[in-house]
Amino acid sequence: MDIVLAEEDQKYLDGQILLINKPLEWTSFDVVNKLRYQLKRKLGVKKLKVGHAGTLDPLATGLLIICTGKLTKQIDTIQAQEKEYTGIITLGGTTPSYDLETEIDNTFDFSNITDADIYKTAASFLGESEQMPPVFSAKKVGGKKAYIEARKGKSIKLSPRSILISSFSIEKIEMPNVYFRISCSKGTYIRSIAYDFGVKLENGGHLSQLCRTKIGDYSLANAHEIDGFVKNLWEG
């Protein structure tokens, strides 16, 4: 006998786009797995296609787009759209992962860096450029994810990729922290932006905070917290 679902539930099988605010330290797949499990239980089905449109690192928060059912076919189209992020670049130190996943390995004196230097450096990123991905990334090297090999201490050789930065504004400067907002193309590593920011200042830089605020026309302002979404799912 076929299962007859209420219209509110059937929509998830037919296909929905869900906007979720990814929590800190969750992987993107953690979110997908959590929602898939809850949706399958609620719908009483054994299989349900669920995927995300664009990975966020565990130490990043913000907009994660989840697609269900037939709309998983739109994932490639969605994740190809321009993305906006806010965050903090911390100067005066580098880390192997370019963020706080690993500890600081080199420190620098940042006392001579001026606000004007910082604004000028941000402007220098605008337009098209070649970016080297961080070795602590999901890029495949010899069929294996780079970060897995990097965590083993192995030498990783990656190739640069073309990116486009359409806007890069400095929101606030509280040395050594530089608060920014950036809009960029698919495949841009903001951790690499943070590292390269330090290099251009002849200093060190790493990403200490990141939040994705937009993907195309989709906004974090319209996103659900995971617990809130699950509660609404069950309580209707």
Examine the residue annotation and report whether 57 is marked as an active-site residue of this protein: yes
Q: Coil, strand or helix: which one is 82?
A: coil
CATH level 3 topology of 7-80+217-235: Pseudouridine synthase (3.30.2350)
- Give yes or no on whether 7-80+217-235 and 83-215 have one common fold: yes
Residue located via tokens 């193309």: 185
Domain boundaries, the chain: 7-80+217-235, 83-215
Structure tokens at 190: 């903001």
H helices of the chain, where? 7-14, 28-43, 75-79, 115-124, 146-151, 190-200, 226-235
Per-residue pLDDT, averaged over 107-133, amounts to: 96
pTM given for the model: 0.90
Collect all residues with Cβ–Cβ distance below 8 Å to 66 and sequence separation of at least 6. Answer: 17, 18, 19, 20, 31, 32, 35, 50, 51, 52, 53
Q: Single out the catalytic residue among 57, 76, 115, 217.
A: 57
CATH code at 83-215: 3.30.2350.10
Q: Tens of pLDDT along 62-114?
A: 999 999 999 999 999 999 999 999 999 999 999 989 999 999 999 999 999 99
